[in-house]
């Protein structure tokens, strides 16, 4: 469901499949661990392989964002499919999260 890549500048989390009540707790734990690890001050969640996201999955992301904010870390999302982006727009979380079109756009923001 999740892979983590560690780059010299950032940690990239790549969830896949369905992020829902069945696995949201595990997802939240993995995000929290990545944010709190202190390896990098930048964490990117690449949502390209996420097929669906329910409220539990969304709350896992919100929880990780709160942790990142408390620790002064940058927590961003990228490559959100149109069907999942609607969820962020309806909940107005698209105004809370820093969201990039794709990983290349995010990486361009680092320079």
Closest C-alpha to 63, from 31, 22, 41:
31
The per-residue pLDDT for 101 is: 97
Q: How does pLDDT run along the chain (111 residues), one tens digit per residue?
A: 544 444 557 899 999 999 999 999 999 999 999 999 877 889 999 999 999 999 999 999 999 999 999 999 999 999 999 999 999 999 999 999 999 999 999 999 987
Domains in the chain and their CATH numbers?
2-110 (3.30.750.24)
Residue 78's pLDDT is 98
Question: What is the reported pLDDT for 10?
Answer: 86
Task: State residue 1's pLDDT score.
Answer: 53
Token pair in block for residue 89: 């727009």
Could you list the beta-strand ranges (E) of the chain.
2-6, 11-19, 42-46, 49-53, 74-78, 98-100
């Amino acid at each position: 469901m999740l892979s983590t890549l560690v780059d010299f500048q950032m940690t990239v989390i790549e969830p896949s499949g369905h992020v829902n009540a069945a696995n949201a707790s595990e997802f939240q734990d993995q995000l929290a661990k990545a944010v709190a690890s202190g390896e990098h001050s930048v964490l990117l969640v690449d949502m390209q392989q996420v097929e669906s996201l329910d409220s539990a999955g969304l709350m896992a992301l919100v929880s990780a964002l709160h942790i990142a904010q408390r620790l002064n870390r940058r927590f961003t999302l990228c490559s959100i499919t149109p069907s999942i982006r609607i969820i962020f727009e309806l909940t107005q979380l698209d105004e809370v999260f820093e969201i990039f079109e794709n990983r290349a756009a995010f990486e361009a923001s680092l320079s």
